[in-house]
Structure 1
Amino acid sequence: MLVVRPAGPADLDALIDLAGLSGPGLTSLPKDEATLAARLRLSAASFGGEVARDAAWYTLMLEDSDDGRILGLAAVRAAIGLDRPHFSFRVITLAQYSPTIGTRFNHRALVLVNECTGWTEVGSLFLRPEARAGGAGSLLARSRYMLIGAEPQRFGETVMAELRGWFGEEGTTSPFWEGLACKFYRLPFLEADKMVSSTNGQFIVDLAPRHPIYVDLIDEDARAAIGRCHRDGEVAMAMLRREGFTPSGLIDVFDGGPTVSAPRDAIATIRGGRVFGVMIEDDVERAETALVSTGAIAGFRAIRATVSVRGDRAVLDRAGAAALGVSAGDMVRVSA
């Protein structure tokens, strides 16, 4: 059975392996052992309630309980932009008009902004290629919203996601970086990408353009990459849209990937979730498959399971209850 569970320091080898498979541009999954080890320590402390609410960063692992293999990961940051700014480019329209010649132009432009302060971020969604079928990606992605729904007061009222930007056909070169961003940072993409997660990010504002950048003046390939997600992110984008996320008008400073956002309580999985007490039976009659998670962040787990709702009770079979680590009378959240 596939189970989503909290990540901790013991998952370091698996996380390093997943980071190596992820390719360039997934900033939240750097190929740096020290950074990943620190991420796992913070995850364990976050699930254990040992850090301030706004500093929490929850990393989730998708595990096959039959053999213990880690198939993917995802993460939720409770609040961004508080201890360090979170920079993006906002795509704006500048209208210019000359009454002398009766001509009007609408120019798209990019402006560096820091607008996401206090938002919750869902991200780091990555699965092994062989696991990208059979609903594993949906389980992993939606488990983040089940986590938020378990204790919504721990998270911001707005939830956002940044998708990896477009890379060339070889999958190693970012047209947006090569055509625009590198002109300001004068670093190889991979080095700049690593510095985002291994430093406080001050270099971004130190070297960023101070004035609007007219899109028409940008290299054609870079222009085409504005707001375009990576080919491997198209499924993730579709899942985000089904949850109610919409484009925010913000793009990543380095690769031009889109940022989408949604009101926390309007996210479909959160809005449709209900809390029930657990009943356990050997044979669950009139059962339907649903997303089921524990009712609290501490010890969080999520699975796809057959469940029958009877009044204020959710009836699970013994395998489902064991995977969640719940007993009769415990509380769970269920979302179709």
Structure 2
Amino acid sequence: MIVLRPVKLTDLSNIEKLAVDSGPMVCTLPAKREHLLQKIEQSIYSFEQDVFCPGEESYFFVLEETDTGHLLGTGAINALAGYRQAFYSFRNDIIIHSSRELNVHSRIHALTLNHDLSDHSQLCSFYIDPSQRHTLSPALITLGRLMFMNANSNRFANEWMAVLPGIADTQGRAPFWEHVGRKFFGMDYNQVEYYNGTRDKAFVAELMPHYPLYVPLIDEEAQAVMGQVHQDAELQYQLLNDQGFEPDKYVEIFDAGPILTAPHNALPICLNMKTGSLVGEPLHADTKQYLVGYQGAKGFCAFIAEGNQTEDRLIITKELMEEVGLTQHQKVWFLAL
């Protein structure tokens, strides 16, 4: 049985291994024990708080194979992307240059450093064990977090977003960074992403240009990767895109990867998610796959199961219900997949 659940302190060693396996692509999951411990402690504290509006909270989930206790993936949520420090991105702008005398009117594509997305809730730290990429586990991490956010909407902003890694090779060379960021930072891409995941974001404001970058003046190799997602993140991109997240007008500042945004109330999962009671009994023939979320002793947990829906009831097998530790007529949230 595979379950999405909140992280706990005893997960530290296993998460550290996942962080090493994830590599530099997941900068919000750096392989630094001290930082991971802080991330776990912050999550535990956040879950324990009575929250009326989003703030500094961060919620960290792990994907667990309950039979073995093995961790297969991670996913986190920042209640506000830029609560204590601004969240920086590049915004795609159009700057108009016009001369009536010369009869010239030009619309120039430019990138502008900004912190517009600081008040968005942010999905982050997504990682899935390679053995699980072609299963329902990636969907469980992504949709399970969205279900938690919708069921606890007071904890989050009305606008949600996710930053996806851009194009970089196995040696850590990112074309956008080489032609833009390196000129201001003078360090390698992997190094700056590590700093981005472990240090105060003030260094971005201190070193990045505050004036618009005119895209036609940027090397064509860098232009070609703007807004493009790394092949290892295509699965995550598709899962979010299916739920209504779209690459709007923002890109990540180091590799120009896409930033997907969506209004909470327009997401399919928020429109179609049901609240009802769980029943354990034999299934009918016309079963479907359901994402099931519940509030248990460990906090909010979610799993995927075959079931039948009858009005406000979800039916799964009694054996599965007992395996998860649920009881007859317990309140659950569920979504047909």
TM-score norm. by structure 1 comes to 0.93
**1:118, distance to aligned residue in structure 2 (A):** 2.2
Q: Which residue of 1 aligns with 2:304?
A: 304
Conserved 8 A contact 1:275-1:295: no
CA distance in 1 between counterparts of 2:194 and 2:316 reads 44
CA distance in 1 between counterparts of 2:318 and 2:62 reads 22
Give unpaired runs (5+ residues) of structure 2. none
Q: Which residue of 1 aligns with 2:71?
A: 70
SS of the residue 2:93 aligns to: strand
CA distance in 2 between counterparts of 1:152 and 1:297 reads 21
CA distance in 1 between counterparts of 2:259 and 2:297 reads 26
**1:119, distance to aligned residue in structure 2 (A):** 1.2
CA distance in 2 between counterparts of 1:29 and 1:220 reads 31
Listed one character per residue, the Cα deviations across residues 9-44 of structure 1 (whole Å, up to 9, x for unaligned) are 111112111111112232111121111111111122
**1:335, distance to aligned residue in structure 2 (A):** 0.5
Aligned length: 334
One-letter amino acid of the counterpart of residue 99, structure 1: R
Q: 1:61 to 1:85 in 2, by over 3 A?
A: same
**1:320, distance to aligned residue in structure 2 (A):** 3.2
**1:312, distance to aligned residue in structure 2 (A):** 2.6
**1:298, distance to aligned residue in structure 2 (A):** 6.4
Q: Which residue of 1 aligns with 2:131?
A: 130
Residue 101 (structure 2) pairs with residue 100 (structure 1): yes
Conserved 8 A contact 2:29-2:125: yes
Residue 260 (structure 2) pairs with residue 268 (structure 1): no
Q: How does 1:187-206 map to 2 (within 5 A)?
A: 187-206=187-206
Conserved 8 A contact 1:150-1:296: no
With 315-324 and 249-258 compared, the bigger mean Cα shift is at 315-324
**1:324, distance to aligned residue in structure 2 (A):** 4.1
Conserved 8 A contact 1:293-1:324: no
Q: Which residue of 2 aligns with 1:14?
A: 14
With 103-112 and 305-314 compared, the bigger mean Cα shift is at 305-314
One-letter amino acid of the counterpart of residue 84, structure 1: Q
Cα root mean square deviation, aligned: 2.0
Which runs of 4 or more aligned residues in structure 1 lie more than 6 Å from their structure 2 counterparts after TM superposition? none
Q: 1:317 to 1:333 in 2, by over 3 A?
A: same
Q: Which residue of 1 aligns with 2:321?
A: 321
Q: 1:261 to 1:298 in 2, by over 3 A?
A: farther
SS of the residue 2:205 aligns to: helix
CA distance in 2 between counterparts of 1:297 and 1:108 reads 52
Listed one character per residue, the Cα deviations across residues 229-262 of structure 1 (whole Å, up to 9, x for unaligned) are 1111112111111101112211111111111111
Q: How does 1:134-283 map to 2 (within 5 A)?
A: 134-168=135-169, 170=170, 172-281=172-281, 283=282
Q: 1:295 to 1:8 in 2, by over 3 A?
A: closer
Residue 85 (structure 2) pairs with residue 84 (structure 1): yes
Listed one character per residue, the Cα deviations across residues 259-299 of structure 1 (whole Å, up to 9, x for unaligned) are 11111122112221000012222x22243221111158961
Q: 1:273 to 1:295 in 2, by over 3 A?
A: farther
